[in-house]
Amino acid sequence: MNAGLQVGRPVRAPKTAELIAARLRRQIVRGDLRPGDTLPSEIQLMEQFGVSRPTLREAFRILEAEALINIRRGSRGGAQVTAPDLSVAARYVGLLLQIQGTTLDDVYEARMIAEPACARMLAKRRTGADLADLSAVVGQLEAAVESRDDAVPDLAEWSRLTYRFHELVMERSGNRTLAIQGAVLQDVVGMHTTVRVARNFDAAESPERFQRAIRAYKKLVALLDAKDADGAERHWRSHMKAAADYLLRGELHNKPVVDLFE
């Protein structure tokens, strides 16, 4: 007997709707169906797969839950292929983190392992376009601060731009697995901490904090430009630790991820 076989645990055969969803999912993943493409009509698909309308619609619901298709209603409706949404993965990862009682500190610790590694790889393979795109975000951050009399930018805009900077560091590192993993972790807490972080701002200290962050971003771009892999990794880890110490102080320190979804 196979030692790996779990005796007494029934094996569930996949439902017909799951098989149809798997077939269509495979076509989307392989690029046979691309974002924007409309699937054949329900009648055509029912004939193709030899199933009833309820079974086909159950398959559609599976793919819609995975954000792989969007169901449009009306005379010009139908199932349209959409690009996979990172937030779907973030929701599932967030659920797993909640069940395990994971804290925000834990999530940021994982980010501080992944992102500096991405900065190291980016320093080795960066292109002129990478440096230009990162510098453009830094320019937008500077403009966001300079446009305000109190030198404190709009928090939502600042968060969007800093998110994009981190995203670029991971995207352009050349390692897609780390890029997706890091983006999911970032997305798990990003939108949920914005309002709560606002409560932690010290009005007297905030303007300088934003300037420090901009200087840190500029320094990373300079290290990338110099192809200083060691320096880029070391600097980005130090920056992320300082940011975590600030953002996760007070009420957010050791806060369970589950509290973000209340």
Instruction: Return the CATH number at 68.
Output: 1.10.10.10
pLDDT exceeds 60 at position 201: no
Instruction: Please indicate, yes or no, whether residues 64 and 113 belong to a single structural domain of this protein.
Output: no
3 domain-assigned = no
pLDDT exceeds 90 at position 171: yes
Q: Are 59 and 24 in contact (CB under 8 A)?
A: yes
Percent of the chain past pLDDT 90, that is, above it, reads: 51
Range with lowest mean pLDDT among 8-12, 190-194, 213-217: 190-194
For residue 65, the enclosing domain spans: 16-81
Instruction: Please indicate, yes or no, whether residues 112 and 61 belong to a single structural domain of this protein.
Output: no
Instruction: Return the CATH number at 102.
Output: 1.20.120.530
Quote the pLDDT of residue 258: 58
9 domain-assigned = no
Quote the pLDDT of residue 10: 64
More confident residue, 189 or 213: 213
What Rg value do the Cα atoms of the chain yield, rounded?
23
Q: How far apart are the C-alpha atoms of 234 and 216, rounded to whole Å?
A: 12
Quote the pLDDT of residue 247: 76
2 domain-assigned = no
The per-residue DSSP string of the chain comes to: --TT--TT-PPPPPPHHHHHHHHHHHHHHHTSS-TTPBPPPHHHHHHHHT--HHHHHHHHHHHHHTTSEEEEPSTT-EEEE-PPPHHHHHHHHHHHHHHTT-BHHHHHHHHHHHHHHHHHHHHHH--HHHHHHHHHHHHHHHHHHHTSTTS---HHHHHHHHHHHHHHHHHTTS-HHHHHHHHHHHHHHHHHHHHHHHTT--TTTHHHHHHHHHHHHHHHHHHHHTT-HHHHHHHHHHHHHHHHHHHTSGGGTT-BGGGGG-
- Average pLDDT of the residues in 60-82: 87
pLDDT exceeds 90 at position 152: no
More confident residue, 262 or 112: 112
Quote the pLDDT of residue 183: 85
Instruction: Please indicate, yes or no, whether residues 168 and 213 belong to a single structural domain of this protein.
Output: yes
A 10 A CB-CB count for 236 gives 27
- Average pLDDT of the residues in 134-151: 89
Quote the pLDDT of residue 1: 47
Instruction: Please indicate, yes or no, whether residues 94 and 219 belong to a single structural domain of this protein.
Output: yes
Instruction: Please indicate, yes or no, whether residues 137 and 202 belong to a single structural domain of this protein.
Output: yes
Instruction: Please indicate, yes or no, whether residues 52 and 144 belong to a single structural domain of this protein.
Output: no
Range with lowest mean pLDDT among 124-133, 183-192, 250-259: 250-259
Domain count, the chain: 2
Domain end: 55, 81, 107, which one?
81
Predicted confidence band at 24 (pLDDT cuts at 50, 70, 90)? very high
Residue 31 falls in which region: left (phi positive, over 0), alpha (psi -120 to 50) or beta: left
Instruction: Please indicate, yes or no, whether residues 64 and 131 belong to a single structural domain of this protein.
Output: no
117 domain-assigned = yes
112 domain-assigned = yes
